[in-house]
Amino acid sequence: MSVASLRRAARETVSGLPREFWWLWTSTLVNRLGAFVATFMALYLTIDRGYSASYAGLVASLHGLGGVVSSLGGGVMADRLGRRPTLLIAQSSTAVSVALLGFVHDPVAIAAVAFLVGMASNASRPAVQAMMADIVRPEDRVRAFSLNYWAINLGFAVSSMAAGFIAEFSYRAGFLIEAGMTAVCAVVVFLKLPESRPAVAVSQGAREDVVGLGAVLRDKRYMGVVGLSFLVALVFQQGSVGLPVAMGQAGFTPADYGMAIAVNGVLIVALQIPVTRFIERRDPRRLLVVSSLLAGYGLGLTAFAGSVGVFALTVCVWTLGEMVNAPTQTGLVVRLSPVHGRGRYQGVYTLSWSLAALVAPLMSGVVIDRFGAEWLWGVCAVVGTVAAVGYGALMRRLPAAEEAVSPRQLETSGSKHMPEQAA
């Protein structure tokens, strides 16, 4: 491909998206560039503070539990208060709690603050996804979600490398840098992002019913998609929880695992945009079926890996599934969500990943200890197959995507879609 073709492809990938999307994208990138805590929390607790590995695992679980709780809470807030206030509250709370985590020493206090960090940091996700759905046209949503996912991985890749150098200097500096960068995100939201939540319609004096959590949970097809998302997330999580344990038991070093898993971040940063150009106009049902199979059998092939190179090849397979699944799945959630319930629907979807982050370590530990790593990879293949069959069955009739309205149109229009002004 020529340089001109590459430039044209890049221009087409980023063109046509509203200005508000790029400010939200910038906020996501800055947030992930400063995501140090998740990277070195275990090292901080065991090396710098001298706590046991069991205690470090407990703190990590509490951090994850906070995310589970806020998945639903953040979705409700995004619908009731609005996307912008929810982002401001979540990011400001994250900045304060992360900074506080760098100064507490008591083990109970550390565990409690880690729980708060998990709650605050995860509460913004439903609002971000709902706001993107509000401001981006339906035909551009897969591309927008993919670009946001690319920013997440680019930021995480950079922050992961920087975290090691920062930790050598000062763990507390890492906490303060993350707090500062999260505060910058809140400032960007405050200055540059208008509220995008569609106002509840008023027709003939009657107020349109607001979608509650109960309605989301009673939406059988949507909850089926959430369940399938949980299965796929369980499989993807094994790349970070099951794979290092299995490689360690097989005699490989942490550096070997680092080399193998680094392929995941490199591929996403390098290929996410061209992959998105390939998939954005294709049938989401087929994409989710294929991505589930790539995830399941990519991890399943790990059972036959005997060298770092082969491990890296298996990572390539399931990473391709991840690149296809992430934007397609998020776009599907929007298509199945009523306009006035997007926050809650996104919150329940986020919950599926938060629960997977809690269950996956237990799943990998039990299976590896009792049956061996080969059984874990076999289970991944089975779970991926079940998810693929489920997506194929549930998505035979997708609803038509509704039209999106830009924030500028919302602000200047006198229609029933005019959003409420943010406080």
Same domain, 261 and 388: yes
The pLDDT, as a whole number, for residue 381 is 95
Judged on CB neighbours under 10 Å (0-12, 13-18, 19+), 165 is exposed
The pLDDT, as a whole number, for residue 219 is 86
Confidence of residue 417 (pLDDT cuts 50, 70, 90): very low
Same domain, 134 and 218: no
By 3-state DSSP, what share of the chain in percent is helix, strand and coil, each rounded to 5? 80, 0, 20
Residue 400: partners with Cβ closer than 8 Å, 6 or more residues away: none
Which of 199, 227, 244 delimits the end of a domain? 199
Question: What CATH number has the domain bearing residue 76?
Answer: 1.20.1250.20
Residue 416: partners with Cβ closer than 8 Å, 6 or more residues away: 199, 201, 202, 203
Q: Decide: helix, strand or coil at residue 1.
A: coil
Same domain, 72 and 189: yes
> 268 lies in a domain?
yes
> 13 lies in a domain?
no
> 64 lies in a domain?
yes
Which of 173, 199, 225 delimits the end of a domain? 199
The pLDDT, as a whole number, for residue 204 is 39
CB-CB contact of 303 with 379 (8 Å): no
Same domain, 194 and 216: no
> 195 lies in a domain?
yes
List the structure tokens of 402: 């509704």
> 333 lies in a domain?
yes
Same domain, 155 and 237: no
Same domain, 276 and 134: no
> 420 lies in a domain?
no
Same domain, 376 and 228: yes
Per-residue pLDDT tens digits for 203-236: 434 444 466 778 888 888 889 999 999 999 999 9
Please name the residue ranges forming H helices in 34-169: 37-43, 53-80, 83-101, 107-135, 141-169
Same domain, 262 and 368: yes
Facing residues of 206 across strands? 203
Q: Decide: helix, strand or coil at residue 206.
A: strand
Tell me the residue range of the domain where 354 lies.
211-397
Same domain, 289 and 152: no
Same domain, 25 and 169: yes
* Distance (Å, whole) CA 396 – CA 299: 27
Count of residues in the chain: 423
Q: Decide: helix, strand or coil at residue 423.
A: coil
Per-residue pLDDT tens digits for 47-106: 778 887 678 777 877 887 888 888 888 888 888 888 899 999 999 999 999 999 989 989
Facing residues of 203 across strands? 206
Confidence of residue 384 (pLDDT cuts 50, 70, 90): very high
> 415 lies in a domain?
no
Same domain, 161 and 234: no
- Could you give the number of structural domains in the chain? 2
Q: What is the mean pLDDT of residues 269-286?
A: 82
The pLDDT, as a whole number, for residue 206 is 40
Amino acid at 271: L
Same domain, 378 and 307: yes
DSSP single-letter state for residue 207: E
Four-residue CA torsion sign, 81, 197, 215, 331: negative
> What does R_g of the chain's alpha carbons equal in angstroms?
21
> 406 lies in a domain?
no
